[in-house]
Amino acid sequence: MSNPSLLILPGDGIGPEVMAEVHKIIDWYGAKRGLTFDVTEDLVGGCAYDAYGTPLTDETMDKAQNVDAVLLGAVGGPKYDDLDFSVKPERGLLRLRKEMDLYANLRPAQCFDALADFSSLKADVVGGLDIMIIRELTSGVYFGEPRGIHQEGNERVGVNTQRYTESEIARVARSAFELARRRNNKVCSMEKANVMESGVLWRQVVTEVHAAEYSDVELSHMYADAGAMQLTRWPKQFDVIVTDNLFGDLLSDLAAMLTGSLGMLPSASLGAPMANGRPKALYEPVHGSAPDIAGQGKANPIACILSFAMALRYSFDHGDEATRLEKAVEAVLADGLRTADLMGPDGGSPVSTAQMGDAIVKALGASL
């Protein structure tokens, strides 16, 4: 049986630095767990534009379509601000998402006990938090037509259209129910069915998919504005939240700040199953390229390392090893090791990007 394949796209800014620490993790799994990957590496974003005049070449796109998973670092930076919109670094990432048809965006919000005081909420509210928000990524108001700005009489009018088909809703609902079966078997679907017809359809379709295919999963519905309130009141009431593109954008950012640091947050974007049954998948940290600290050893590699943990769980069917890696991260944080973004009033032991990666590898070894 061939090894699972992984395309690594470090990208720009701190991307190569945090990805170097992921390489250490991959090497450890090969040496200590017999879990090896066929890894290829390529360019995306500004570095690809510098080399090829485009943020993503057709050849790299072809590679992404034919591997088991893609792991991306970050793209962009101020040196590319004046480029034409069509070749800005971010267009490379958007092309990957579009052509791979990655319609389900998974954003976990997990608060390690050692970092509970970093949250703006009380520690007992966020301590041990572990929820997942699934955002529909390829439709909704960001893509609907008609759209634009036009003149009506004496004033300008801005138009965006919220549009969903039942098949688009059904497929992201299935992703949520399948994921819930791997977790605590609870899904809360959020929309605005009280004022939006698209919300009415969303609730109807999610309910129909649940009744026909996933009646074993507990399903609840909530208006998205009430959901935002509940996320800040008692977030641990949720397990999996599924919602549309716009509300998912807002709610996942809100949930991200419950955890205290953007440098800790991974993500996954999943598409339709391939011939081997695995979904097409792109994994990336939520943070940006942070060009202001690039090359200084200040970047936090944990979000990128946890993105690889998500790949282990959702693309490579090694949930046990994903848990091992997550617990290694938790152990290192509990020991007080902190990259610059995690240094708070209570102090801690400051470490560089590479030292954090080395510590996580050491904690992996201690788990055996």
Is the CA virtual torsion 280, 284, 289, 295 positive or negative? negative
Radius of gyration of the chain (CA): 21
Instruction: Examine the residue annotation and report whether 283 is marked as an active-site residue of this protein.
Output: no
Q: What SS3 state is found at 150?
A: strand
Q: What SS3 state is found at 185?
A: coil
Instruction: Examine the residue annotation and report whether 292 is marked as an active-site residue of this protein.
Output: no
* Residue 97 amino acid letter: R
Among the listed residues 5, 14, 3, the one whose alpha carbon sits nearest the alpha carbon of residue 289:
14
Residues linked to residue 158 through DSSP beta bridges, in sequence order: 149
Could you say which of 24, 52, 101, 142 is catalytic? Answer: 142
Asked if the peptide bond before residue 146 counts as cis, ω within 30 degrees of 0, the response is yes
Could you say which of 80, 249, 283, 314 is catalytic? Answer: 249
At 152, give phi and psi (nearest 5°).
-125, 105
Among the listed residues 231, 246, 144, 238, the one whose alpha carbon sits nearest the alpha carbon of residue 191:
246
How far apart CA 284 and CA 14 sit, in angstroms, is 13
Could you say which of 192, 239, 244, 280 is catalytic? Answer: 192
Length of the chain: 368
How far apart CA 189 and CA 86 sit, in angstroms, is 35
Is the CA virtual torsion 11, 15, 20, 25 positive or negative? negative
Instruction: Examine the residue annotation and report whether 192 is marked as an active-site residue of this protein.
Output: yes
Could you say which of 101, 130, 253, 358 is catalytic? Answer: 253
* Residue 326 amino acid letter: E
Give the catalytic positions in this structure: 142, 192, 225, 249, 253
